[in-house]
Amino acid sequence: DTRARLGYTAPIGSTDEDRVRHLTVALPPQHAARLFDAQQAGAGDRRLQEITAEALREVYFQDGGRRAGSLEEVRFTDIEHLEFDL
């Protein structure tokens, strides 16, 4: 569950203007594992944000490959709330 500023960049230079979104999504095990592994390895907040943005790109924006397949980058900033549950 997160409330943060999210936006994305598409390949032809188009962008979806960043906006604050409140999302509650289930991350597939491989994304959760990447986050836990990075955290255990001592990754900083910036790296953990990058991993979370990559997961949200696939799960939320691309819906597991069913849409928006050409997104290049998802921005995940101005985090107001971020919570993970198992």
Residues 25-31 have a mean pLDDT of 91
Percent of the chain with pLDDT over 70: 93
Q: What are phi and psi of 12, to 5 degrees?
A: -90, 20
pTM for the model stands at 0.82
pLDDT surpassing 80 at residue 10:
no
Q: What is the mean pLDDT of residues 16-42?
A: 91
Domain that holds residue 33: 2-82
Both ends of the chain: CA-CA distance in Å?
12
Across 14-26, average pLDDT: 85
Exposure string of 2-13, with b = 16+ CB inside 10 Å and e = fewer, is: bbbebbbeeeee
pLDDT at residue 23, as a whole number: 94
Residues 6+ apart with CB under 8 A from 75: 5, 6, 7, 8, 9, 18, 53
Q: Based on the structure, what is the number of domains in the chain?
A: 1
Q: What is the pLDDT of residues 51-64, one digit of tens each?
A: 999 999 899 988 87
